[in-house]
Amino acid sequence: MVTQRRHPASSAAASPLAADQSTDARVTIAPPPPASSETLRRVRDGNGLLTAAAMRRLDEELEWYRALPAEDRSWVGLVAQSAINAFVTWFSDPTSPPHAVSEIFAAAPPELTRSISLQHTLQLVRMIVDVVEMHSDQLAAPGSERDLREAVLRYSREVAFSAAEVYARAAEVRGAWDARLEALVVDALVRGDADDSLRSRIAAIGWTGRGSAIVMVGTTTSPLDDVRATDLRRAMRRAADDTLVGVQGDRLMVFLGGDGDLVAAATSLLPRFGPGPVVIGPPVPHVAEAARSVRAALAGLLAAPAWDQAPRPVQADDLLPERVMVGDVVARRALVAQAFVPLAASTGSLLETLSAYLGAGRSLEAAARTLYVHPNTVRYRLRRVADVTGWDPLDARESFVLQTALALGRLEPEA
């Protein structure tokens, strides 16, 4: 059985047919030729026959109907009877507008409409049309069979369109609600409000929580309209299992989650961003814990212009020196903890050798003369520095990272 997700804060979104109770979804159609009085009498008298035939067809042909609880099946039967009664009423006076779907479902409780999808509703309408068509020769007066069949088709077409209109309106309501809820979640992640309510909101928008999560931050050339936003979400769903989108002014934030290669998935979305840096925050176990990743990515977005050769996208952790320059305390602590502290605690004069190498203009021979050792000894110690810290002093970019870490470490009293 197909069920529709219900948001606790929006009962209208949970019950699309019930949501249309206050909206007149009737339509005006060209009336059929006036039916003969004999045909009208036969159609009225055959109401019970049509209802019984419809109930048999329901049980024989619709698997979702058989899967419903007994109480819901009885309500569906009442809906089918209501639809047949509505047709008989309209056929008696075809100049009046046909009943809308909300009126046909009015006899059933709102809970039933949350268990019946648009596809089920259209199947129900189609089946009732078939039942009336099959009995048209029996119900219509001689010579009026074609008129009755045409009236059934004309009426069923308008009821089907009415159902589609109701569900489309409900889908728009749900979409608007989901967008507002998504914006609230993104805002909470940016502010770091990771409480129990945040997890429930994340679950409400369909985040499964499988695997880890990352955030990618960049700019957008213009605010996302509905078409561009839909296109972006479609591309995101192809790239990752779980997705979130946040637009704050000209800043675009994309959250991706799942078991696959999230960095590769994020890279595939680069064309959706505007010009300028695009930064990927460090991975987190769950999107509810993404606040620190968001802070790192936003700080990286602010600092990225300082590194002219930065790749696109660039990892926030690759921008630690630049993030320190814009006042990121987390980046400052990370550099000291990952580079200066291990070197200071190591043996073999690694910190002294690195300092001499950097101070000598990154010259092995000059550093060797300062330390009174052979240049191969300096080279060996620098390889150990790379093993200890993860940054290679012989690489121009990574030596800059290490030099920044040394300067910060010397300014830390507790380092």
pLDDT values of the chain reduced to their tens digit, one per residue, 415 residues:
333 334 433 333 334 444 344 444 444 445 555 556 777 787 788 778 888 888 888 888 888 888 888 887 888 777 777 777 777 777 777 666 655 555 665 555 655 656 667 677 777 777 877 787 787 777 777 877 777 777 777 777 766 676 666 666 665 555 566 667 677 777 777 777 766 677 777 777 777 878 888 899 998 877 666 677 778 878 888 888 888 888 777 888 888 888 888 899 999 988 888 888 999 999 988 887 888 888 999 999 999 999 999 999 999 999 999 999 999 999 999 999 999 999 999 988 999 999 999 999 999 999 999 999 999 999 999 999 999 999 999 999 999 999 999 999 999 766 5
In a domain, 116, yes or no: yes
Burial class (CB in 10 A: 0-12, 13-18, 19+), 164: middle
In a domain, 187, yes or no: no
In a domain, 370, yes or no: yes
131: Cα within 13 Å, side-chain hemisphere? 27
72: Cα within 13 Å, side-chain hemisphere? 14
What CATH number is associated with residue 255? 3.30.70.2730
115 shares its domain with 261: no
27 shares its domain with 145: yes
Burial class (CB in 10 A: 0-12, 13-18, 19+), 184: middle
281 shares its domain with 397: no
Q: Where are the alpha helices (DSSP H) in 192-204?
A: 196-204
For 166, the token pair is 């109701």
67 shares its domain with 153: yes
Say which amino acid occupies 210.
R
What CATH number is associated with residue 381? 1.10.10.2840
pLDDT digits 0-9 by tens, 330-352: 999 999 999 999 999 998 899 99
In a domain, 6, yes or no: no
User: What's the structural domain count of the chain?
Assistant: 3
34 shares its domain with 168: yes
Q: Domain boundary residue among 121, 153, 174?
A: 174
Say which amino acid occupies 108.
A
157 shares its domain with 41: yes
Which of these, 339, 251, 338, 261, lies nearest to 297 by C-alpha position?
A: 251
pLDDT digits 0-9 by tens, 167-224: 666 655 555 666 676 777 777 777 777 666 777 777 777 778 788 888 999 988 776 6
36 shares its domain with 159: yes
299 shares its domain with 339: no
Q: What is the pLDDT of residue 25?
A: 41
Q: What is the pLDDT of residue 196?
A: 66
Which of these, 59, 54, 120, lies nearest to 81 by C-alpha position?
A: 54
86 shares its domain with 126: yes
pTM above the 0.75 mark?
Answer: no
Distance of alpha carbon 212 from alpha carbon 256, whole angstroms? 8
Q: Domain boundary residue among 319, 342, 369?
A: 319
261 shares its domain with 308: yes
Which of these, 332, 303, 333, lies nearest to 319 by C-alpha position?
A: 303
In a domain, 154, yes or no: yes
Are the C-beta atoms of residues 159 and 98 closer than 8 Å to each other? yes
In a domain, 380, yes or no: yes
Say which amino acid occupies 21.
Q
Q: Domain boundary residue among 122, 151, 174?
A: 174
In a domain, 4, yes or no: no
In a domain, 242, yes or no: yes
Distance of alpha carbon 415 from alpha carbon 410, whole angstroms? 7
Which of these, 296, 291, 242, lies nearest to 265 by C-alpha position?
A: 242
Domain span holding position 240? 207-319
228 shares its domain with 277: yes
Distance of alpha carbon 169 from alpha carbon 179, whole angstroms? 15
253 shares its domain with 272: yes
